[in-house]
Amino acid sequence: MKLLVKKLKENALLPRRATAESAGYDLSACLEAPLIIKAGETEKVPTGLSVAVEGCPDCVLLIYARSSTATRKGLAPANCVGVVDTDYRGEVLVALRNHSGEDRVIEPGERIAQLVVTPILLPDVEEVSELSETERGEGGFGSSR
């Protein structure tokens, strides 16, 4: 299996794992100048990359927050987890939401998120009139205390 990466912009940085045991590949901002993300707002940050997974047709690429970016700057993906479908070939963008009360700056080349290759299960959808009984049943939020 290989993560194929096409640079769409010359100054784009290839995804890389920070350590040998890192689950994700750091994605970096591909910017010509610093980008200000105002408090409470969201900006789509370009990576300058297009990606594909070779040898794993049942994999998806998921974009997660970097813990340091989220905890120190209050910046995290606006959709919590971004999904890059296996047939998408456009530029990977990271929609970063500023959850802090202050404007934040993203510098060119700054690591902004992490990309995780994840296997997916795609069961057939079948409509049924009943589901099997369980101990929990229809108990929702807070019912399993």
Percentage of the chain beyond pLDDT 90 is 77
Report the C-alpha gap between 16 and 58 in whole angstroms. Answer: 22
The whole-number pLDDT of residue 139 equals: 75
The whole-number pLDDT of residue 68 equals: 84
The whole-number pLDDT of residue 35 equals: 97
DSSP sequence for the chain: -EEEEEESSTT----B-SSTT-SSEEEE---SS-EEE-TT-EEEEE-SEEEEEES-TTEEEEEE--HHIIIII-EEETTSSEEE-TT--S--EEEEEE-SSS-EEE-TT-EEEEEEEEE---PPP---S-----SSTT--TTTT-
pTM as predicted: 0.86
Domains and CATH numbers, the chain: 2-119 (2.70.40.10)
| Tally of residues, the chain | 145
Report the C-alpha gap between 86 and 56 in whole angstroms. Answer: 9
Q: Please name the amino acid found at residue 51.
A: V
Write out pLDDT tens, residues 15-62: 999 999 999 999 999 999 999 999 999 999 999 999 999 998 899 999
Write out pLDDT tens, residues 74-83: 899 899 899 9
Give the pLDDT mean for 131-145.
Answer: 78
pLDDT band at 119 (very low <50, low <70, confident <90, very high): very high
pLDDT band at 144 (very low <50, low <70, confident <90, very high): low
The whole-number pLDDT of residue 145 equals: 66
